[in-house]
Amino acid sequence: MSAQAEQDPTAPDEVARALADALADIAAAGTLGELKAARVAHDGDRAPLALASAHIGALPGAERAEAGRRVGAARARLREALRARQAELEAERDRQVLLTETADVTLPGGRVLPGARHPVTMLADRLSDVFVAMGYEVAEGPEVEAEWYNFDALNIPPDHPAREMQDTLFIAGKNGTSASGIVLRTHTSPVQIRSMLTRPLPLYVVSPGKCFRNEALDATHSPVFHQIEGLAVDEGLTMADLRGAIQAFVEAMFGEGLRTRFRPDYFPFTEPSGDVAMECHVCRGASAEPGGDPCRVCKSQGWIEIAGCGMVNPRVLVACGIDPDRYTGFAFGLGIERGLMIAHGVTDIRDTMEGDVRFSRAFGTEI
């Protein structure tokens, strides 16, 4: 045999050695990564058996068939070995995963609580629903409000003492020093103005929302609280309609047959103005009778004040471009936290805002 013949990569010895090398490397591959390296080395484009395959065409015609069978058989054997080892190593990997990544089914599970709406939000929705059922629409307004909507348009000019009734948190232009003063709204009444300016008449809206006052936190006051505002503007509305709306609302919230009481009060944006009290829903007034048992909810007064109200001041209608000779309106506003406290016997307003889930849980987990 010539030296050239010995270097023929298709020669039986060469093919046998290349296959033996390949099978040894495949058998020695202990990981899928090592097997991948063996695949590149022995079955890649530059592998000895691939080169042998490419060399077949250069052989004399008589030798080609024989060499082709030899190299083809070797490559088939090689691929079968690769496939078998791949399957073994994958099975081994999966076994290891099962061994090392075991789940202890006896460990306590991490429960994800579904979450719940806050009792104040739930009450605001219930209150809104009572009025929506009477045909009112829900209106919203911004918490950061122009001084004009919060005061001026509500007949509270800059020098009016009523501004002192509500300790105001100013964002810009303190208390009338700027034409464009910006405040954190002190009540939901500015939504009355926004509604009258943007909605067609007749108008029946209810507006729950957050209010802010520069007040110290104590058992009954908070610097951040919620109110719900009601406003009706229509032809021929009178105090009797206001009374009827409040009476229907009290009965829907606290029970049928509870009486309401109106007493004169003062708000610059309503004339006449009143405060509304309802008969105590716990003692039904009995605690105020001579010899009656004391009542914690109404402090033995028999009545609980729940809202400010009145007929919309004609000056407010005029500020909103409404003809006061044709239209009249009534409005009312009540504190939602105070309502919650009355309805559920909560004695400290701070409980409604500290975020303690034990407080909220007592109201259920409606979501």
Of 39 and 187, CB closest to ligand FA5: 187
Q: How far is CA 345 from CA 90, 323, 349, 352, in A?
A: 67, 44, 11, 12
Q: Give, as one character, the DSSP assignment of residue 326.
A: T
Nearer to ligand FA5 by Cβ, of 53 and 166: the residue is 166
189 vs 260, beta carbon nearer ligand FA5 = 189
The residues, ordered by sequence, that sit 6+ positions from 188 with a Cβ below 8 Å of its Cβ are 141, 207, 208, 209, 211, 227, 228, 229, 333
231 has which bridge partners? 205, 331
**Toward ligand FA5, which CB reaches closer, 42 or 226?**
226
Closer CB to ligand FA5, 42 or 163, in the complex: 163
* Closer residue to ligand FA5 (CB): 131 or 225: 225
Closer to ligand FA5 by CB, 254 or 332: give it. 332
Binding site for ligand FA5 (CB under 6 A): 166, 187, 189, 213, 215, 221-222, 225, 227, 229, 267, 270, 308-310, 331-335, 337-338
- Report the alpha-carbon distance of residue 190 to residue 211 in Å, rounded: 11
The rounded distance, in Å, linking the Cα atoms of 203 and 184 is 26
Helices (H), 203-335: 239-254, 314-319
Shortest distance, position 220 Cβ to ligand FA5, whole Å? 7
Which CB atom, from 14 or from 147, has the smaller least distance to ligand FA5? 147
Cα 92 from chain centroid? 47
Q: What is the DSSP letter of 237?
A: -
Nearer to ligand FA5, 23 or 332 (CB): 332
| In the complex, minimum distance from the CB of residue 269 to ligand FA5, in angstroms, rounded to a whole number | 6
- In the complex, the smallest distance separating the C-beta of residue 104 from ligand FA5, rounded to whole angstroms, is 50
CB of 193 to ligand FA5, least distance (A): 12
| Residue nearest ligand FA5, Cβ-based | 335
Rounded CA gap, 14 and 40, in Å?
Answer: 19
Measured from the CB atom, the residue of 6 and 348 that comes closer to ligand FA5 is 348
**Dihedral sign from CA coordinates of 350, 351, 357, 363:** negative
Query: Is the separation of the CB atoms in 201 and 233 below 8 Å?
Result: yes
The CB-of-273 to ligand FA5 minimum distance in angstroms stands at 6
- Token duo for residue 269: 């944006």
Q: How far is the CB of 361 from ligand FA5 (least distance, A)?
A: 23
Least Cβ distance, residue 199 to ligand FA5 (angstroms): 17
Least separation in angstroms between residue 291's CB and ligand FA5 is 31
Nearest to 67 by CA among 5, 2, 25, 1: 5
Q: What does the alpha-carbon distance between residue 313 and residue 32 come to, in Å, rounded to a whole number?
A: 85
SS percent in the chain: helix, strand, coil, step 5: 45, 20, 35
Strand order in the sheet with 144-146: 144-146, 182-184, 169-172
CB of 223 to ligand FA5, least distance (A): 7
The residue type at 177: T
Residue 337 CB, nearest approach to ligand FA5 (Å)? 5
Cα-to-chain-centroid distance, residue 192: 27
Residue type, 301: Q
